[in-house]
Amino acid sequence: MDAIYNRLVGLNDELTEATLQGQILDPQSKYVGGIVDETGIARANHMSTPRIIAGWASALVNPDSRYYHDRVLLIALDKAVAFMLNRQHADGTVSLGSTNYNSPPDTAFVVGGVTQMYQLLNKHDWVELEPVTAKLKLFLERTIPAMLTGGCHTPNHRWVITAALSLLHEIFPQPELLTRAEDWLAEGLDITEDGEWTERSNGIYNAVSNIALYHTGRLMKRPELIECVRSNLRMMIYLIHPSGEVVTDYSGRQDFGQTATMANYFPIYRLMAAYDQDPIFAAMADYAGSFITGFYEGVNNHPLMNMLLYPEADISQLERAPLLDRYVKVINAEHPMQEHLQQIDGIGHHMHIQHSSMHLAFGAPLVRIREGEQSVTIMSQTPSFFSLRHGKASLLGVKLATSFSPGIVKFTNLLASEAGYKLDTVLEKGYNGPIPRHLLPVGTAGSTLSPWYLLPHQHRPMTHVQQLELQAVITSGDSEWTIHIASDEREDVFTQLTFIFGNDGTVSGDDLLVGEEGKYFLRSGSMKYEADGDVIEISSGAYEHILPSVREDHHPTGCQYVHVNLVTPYDRTFKIRLR
C-alpha cells in the first residue's frame, strides 16, 4: 500500500503541474479561475474543475508532495474555488454541462467531494488556507436548499444525494438534511442478493453507488447500507478479465462494451478492507490501485484525497488473500426477476419515466468462468449472450438477430446445469385490432379528423399473435466451447448469428465473404481470429440468405464482425476452439 501511496503522490504532482497550465487567468473571462477541460471551457461539475482542485488541495497539505505549502498553488486554488462560487447558480446548483442544467444530482456529486476537500483543508494547521476553506464552506452552504428539495434521474443518483446530505450534515448539523436522506432511503435498496445494482454498471456506477452508500451508512449509522457495499465488492471479484479489464458486456449504462479497469474501486476497497479487516478486500485494493494511471474519477471518489482524509483506513499491515483466477460463478440465479416483472402492470407508471430508464434487465442471471488466462461470460437479457477472452485474443460477443421482432434477440432465461448453460426465449408479435367504440374519446367516433396520437391505443385487442421459440445451449470441452442454437419449426425467418472481435487482431478464413469495412460473412468452413499468437477458431459457416444485416440490428464501429446467415428452422452447432 505504501507503493500505491507513493505512486499516487507522484501522479498527483505531475497532474498538478500540468493542470496549473490550464487555469484561466483572464480577469475578463466569466470562467476566470477555472481549469479548461476537454470541452475547451472550464466547468464546475464533478469531472471538471472540482476534480482537479481536489488534487491541488491534496498536494498543498501533504508533506510528501513537492507542492506542500506552495504559495503559487495556494493562489491558484483560491482562484479556482472563487470560480466555483461564480459558476454556482442562484438556486445553489451547478450544471453538468454536457446535459443536466441546474442539476441537483450533479451538484450532489460535487458536494460529495467538496465536503471531503473542505474537511481535509480545515483540519490542516496552516492559517493561510483559511480564505480557501471559507469559500469552500460557502459553496457547500449554498447547496443545502437544492439538496433538501432536489430530485434525480437515475437509481444511483439517489445514493449520491444521500451521501451529499450526510456529508453536509457533518459540517452543518441541520436535522432536515438527515430527514431528506431518510426520504430517499425509504424507497429501499436496489440490489440483488448477489450484489448487483440496478444499472449493472461494473465500469462506472457500481463504484459510484458503493462510495456514496459507504459514507451514508457510516454517518447515519446504517449498517445495512454498508452490507450492500460489501455485497457488490464481493461480486466484483468475479467480474474481472485476466488483463484487469472489467466485464462491461451487459451494462445498462454508457460503459456497455467499453474498456474499464478496477481503478475507480480503489478508494472503496481500501475503506472496506479497513472496516471489515478483510484480506480479500485488501488484496483487491492493491489490485485496483495498480491500475490508477491518472485521476479520472469524479471529485467524490478521488483516490489520494481519500487516503489523506481517512488515514485510519491504513491497511498496510493487513494480511492479503490470493485473488481468484479459477472459478465458475453463477450470479443472480435465485433473483425473482420474472416475479418482479409480472408486477409492472399493476404499478401504474405504464413503463414511462421521465429522463431515465426502467432497467428491466436488473437481476438477470449470468455466469462468469475463469480458467487462468481464459475468461468467459454467459448472459441473459443482453444483446450479446456469450463472450470469451483467450489470452490476447478476444471474442467480444456473440449475438443473434432475427427479422421476426425484428432485431437483436435478448434471451429471457438462463439455466446452469452439469450439462451446460441453456438460454431460451419466446418472441411474440401480433397485430392491433380496432379500439372498442365505447372506449373511444368523446367526439372521435365518425369524426372526419382523428389524429393517430390522440387515440387510446392501450385498448386495442391483439389479433393473430405469433410466436418464435429460440434457444442456445453452451458447453465447454478441452480448449473449446460449443454453441448449439435452434429455432422452432416456423419457416423463413431471416436470422444472423454474429461473432464480434476486437480490432487488435486479424480475421481469416477459406470461405469468408468481405462486406463493408470490418464485416465478413462466413459462408462455410471455419475462420480464425489471431492476436499476438493467441487464436480463436470458429466453425462452421452458413450463407442461407444474402442480407447484409437484419432489420434494426446495428453494429457499432471499432470492431470486426463475422456473420453467419441462417433461415428458420435451424438446428446448428458452432465450435469455438482455442489455441
228 is a domain residue: yes
Tell me the pLDDT tens digit for each residue of 240-290. Answer: 999 999 999 989 887 888 889 999 999 999 999 999 999 999 999 999 999
Whole-number average pLDDT of the chain: 94
* 107 and 14 co-located in one domain: yes
Q: What does the pLDDT read at residue 42?
A: 92
Number of domain units in the chain: 2
In a domain, 516, yes or no: yes
Is residue 461, in this structure, part of any structural domain at all? Answer: no
The answer to whether residues 111 and 26 belong to one domain is: yes
- Distance in angstroms (rounded) separating the CA atoms of residues 212 and 234: 17
Mean pLDDT of 368-383: 95
pLDDT in tens, 504-549: 999 999 899 999 889 999 999 999 999 999 999 999 999 999 999 9
Q: Are residues 316 and 396 in the same domain?
A: no
Across the range 155-184, mean pLDDT stands at 96
Asked whether residue 8 falls in the same domain as residue 102, the answer is: yes
Whether residue 499 sits in one domain with residue 416: yes
Asked if residue 355 has pLDDT above 80, the reply is no
Are residues 32 and 166 located together in one domain of the fold?
yes
Distance CA 155, CA 152 (A): 8
290 and 417 together in one domain: no
- Given 272, 304, 326, the domain boundary residue is 326
Parallel, antiparallel, or unpaired for β 494-501 and 560-567? antiparallel
pLDDT score at 144: 98
- pLDDT at residue 391, as a whole number: 93
Residue of 532, 528, 335, 333 whose CA lies nearest to 414:
333
Task: Mention every residue, 6+ apart, whose C-beta is less than 8 A from residue 564.
Answer: 496, 497, 498, 499, 521, 522, 541, 542, 543, 574
Residues 6+ apart with CB under 8 A from 434: 460
Which domain range does residue 171 map to? 2-326
Examine the domain organization and report whether 206 and 81 are in the same domain. yes
Find, among 205, 421, 226, 204, the residue nearest to 331 by Cα: 421
Q: Is residue 109 located within the same domain as residue 243? A: yes
Residue 354 has pLDDT above 90, yes or no: no
DSSP 142: H
* CATH number of domain containing 16: 1.50.10.100
Q: Does residue 362 belong to any structural domain of this protein?
A: no
Identify whether the C-beta of residue 220 lies closer than 8 Å to the C-beta of residue 183: no
Question: Is there a domain that residue 200 lies in?
Answer: yes
Domain final position from 308, 326, 344: 326
Q: Classify 563 as helix, strand or coil.
A: strand
pLDDT value of position 183: 96
pLDDT tens by residue, 542-572: 999 999 999 888 887 889 999 999 999 999 9
Task: Tell me what pLDDT residue 555 has.
Answer: 81
**How far is it, in rounded angstroms, from Cα 174 to Cα 125?**
26
Which of 326, 353, 376 is the C-terminal boundary of a domain? 326
Q: Is the pLDDT of residue 296 over 90?
A: no
382 lies in some domain? no
Do 318 and 421 have their domain in common? no
Is residue 130 assigned to a domain? yes
pLDDT-derived band at 124, boundaries 50, 70, 90: very high
401 in the same domain as 290 = no
Give yes or no for a contact between 316 and 69, defined as CB atoms under 8 angstroms apart.
Answer: no
Q: Is residue 260 part of a domain?
A: yes
- Each residue's pLDDT tens digit, 401-422: 999 989 999 999 999 998 899 9
Residue of 131 and 38 predicted with greater confidence: 131
